[in-house]
Amino acid sequence: MAGFSPRKLSFSIIFLGLMTILGSQAALDVHYYDRTCPEAEKIIRYTVLNASMHDAKVPARILRMFFHDCFIRGCDASVLLDSTPQNQAEKDGPPNISLRAFYVIDDAKTKLESACPKTVSCADIVAVAARDVVAMSGGPFWNVLKGRKDGRISKASETINLPAPTFNVSTLIQSFTKRGLGVKDLVALSGGHTLGFSHCSSFQARLHNFSSVHDIDPTMNPEFAETLKKKCPKPNKNGNAGQFLDSTASTFDNNYYKQLLAGKGVFGSDQALYGDYRTKWIVESFANDQSLFFKEFATSMVKLGNVGVMEKGEVRLNCRVVN
């Protein structure tokens, strides 16, 4: 994966002039910290930029962290809580074992507690950081609505409710609908896979003994399948082996959708988006128009950031433990 450079901060700006989102009981506000912690976003941005310059995997991990947090109990930073002897937390659930990059959020929180104690929630840090990694990688910029509070409950068992790479479109739509997100949100947010890497375990079932009729998933480009087979042989003894989800994996662009058109989606759930009439036209639209994808991705990220928001939680002093 290519390294980071400050020039990637020259991202396209998409201003969403939304002060609050209708239909939510929680009054999130773009200007929530203007008086109480005016430097909050700047502190988060430079913490994330610095971490990304030292580790090119940070952007994909932060973006995935935001998705995985909001899909379980809403955007309440429950994914950041550490397990205890009495409770196994979300971050130790099977889908989250590879999340990592929690140290970046810890670092931002430490700096924020120094600048404005007991003010900025961990949930808001994750939401702002997710926007920043997208923008730093060449993607859109949007105004993040803030004012979330942090939850006190985190259960590894609940991560079973995260969308799986084996889901078909009907199951994906059901999962997103439960969170107030529509079909266009599903396809737009799936584009977050333009940043990212997957280990073989998440897609190797498509490469070996796929069905009684096909050894390889027939929706997969045959040459691409052979490439993946070499990286992920059966049995696979290399736990680090895998594949980037996009051939330009350090740049936020619409190449992910172009790969779906070519049968080169890594996850079955990704490729399924191009094989279903409900989502195929949106995939094609985003593949043909990157600016449209950027606009819809930013809109959907604002909607996702409003899922299950808590107004009456706490502001954790340490993102890993409840107060």
Give 71-74's long-range contacts (Cβ < 8 A, gap of 24+): 71/161, 71/162, 71/163, 71/175, 71/179, 71/307, 72/158, 72/159, 72/161, 72/162, 73/151, 73/153, 73/154, 73/158, 73/308, 74/151, 74/307, 74/308, 74/309, 74/310
Q: Is 74 annotated as a binding residue?
A: yes
For every residue of 243-290, DSSP letters joined together read: EESSTTTTS-SSHHHHHHHTT--SSHHHHHTTSSHHHHHHHHHHHH-H
Residue 246 assigned ligand-binding role: no
Three-state DSSP at 146 gives: strand
194 assigned binding-site residue: yes
84 is in an annotated binding site: no
69 has binding-site annotation = yes
* Longest CA pairwise span in the chain (Å): 63
Active site residue 68: yes
Which listed residue (31, 54, 68, 199) is catalytic? 68
Task: List the alpha helices (DSSP H) in 55-194.
Answer: 58-71, 102-115, 122-136, 169-177, 183-190
Is 90 assigned a ligand-binding role in the annotation?
A: yes
Write out the two tokens for 206.
């498509």
Was 289 annotated as part of a binding site? Answer: no
**Cβ proximity of 302 and 21 under 8 Å:** yes
- Residue 193 known to bind ligand: yes
Give CA–CA dist 249/237, Å, rounded. 24
Say whether 248 counts as a known binding-site residue: yes
Q: Characterize 255-266 residue by residue with b for buried, 16 or more Cβ atoms within 10 angstroms of its Cβ, and e for exposed.
A: bbbbbbeebbbb
Is 76 annotated in a binding site? The answer is: yes
Q: Just list the catalytic residues.
A: 68
Q: Which residues are annotated as a binding site for substrate?
A: 163
Q: Which residues are annotated as a binding site for Ca(2+)?
A: 69, 74, 76, 78, 90, 194, 248, 253
